[in-house]
Amino acid sequence: MTEDKGDSTTIAARCRAEGGLMEVNLGDLREELGYKKLGKWVLVEVAEALGRDKLGYFPEGMLDPQHNTVPRQAQTVWIYENDGGLRAQVISAVLHPDRRDVRAALDALVDHGEALTSEQKLDRIRDLVGS
């Protein structure tokens, strides 16, 4: 959002301080960009700013003006550090299975050399995304 110079008040800094995953409302994202109102072009700018800060978000439709036609400041998105780590790989595989090797991302959830059951994998994914 804004360049992170150690300022713990930026969304990017807060996300990193919280371990790379946090929930934030659209009002906070709007304010960080300096806007007073939340509209479709602000949603687009928020999404672009997050990408510049190497942050991903979900649900993706929340920052898509074609899907979120009436954005409200209390609506929330999950922000995550898109650093190529396990969490980012799994989220990316779930959000974009056509662009990722889903099997490889989910196989990374193998615990101590033993394959997890499907339900255990889903539990691990839930833990990773904080749901």
pTM: 0.75
Mean pLDDT of 80-107: 88
Q: What are phi and psi of 51, to 5 degrees?
A: -60, -40
9-50 residue pLDDT tens: 799 999 999 999 999 999 999 999 999 999 999 999 999 999
- The average pLDDT across 42-64 equals 96
Pairwise CA distance, residues 17 & 55, whole Å:
13
What six digits make up the tokens of 75? 């609506």
User: Cβ of 85: how many Cβ atoms within 10 Å?
Assistant: 13
How far CA 2 is from CA of 90, 99, 110, 112, in Å, comes to 26, 28, 37, 40
Q: To 5 degrees, how large is the angle CA 99–CA 1–CA 66?
A: 55
Where do the domains of the chain lie? 1-82, 84-131
Is 3's pLDDT higher than 50? no
Helix (H, G, I), strand (E, B) or coil at 25: strand
The whole-number pLDDT of residue 101 equals 84
Pair type for strands 21-25 and 76-81: antiparallel
pLDDT at 82 over 70: yes
Instruction: Tell me the per-residue pLDDT of 29-40, one tens digit each, with 9 for 90 and over.
Output: 999 999 999 999
Comparing 1 with 90, which gets the higher pLDDT? 90
DSSP 13: H
Which region among 2-11, 47-56, 60-69, 94-103 has the lowest average model confidence (pLDDT)? 2-11
Euclidean distance between CA atoms 36 and 112, whole angstroms: 50
- First and final CA of the chain: distance in angstroms? 24
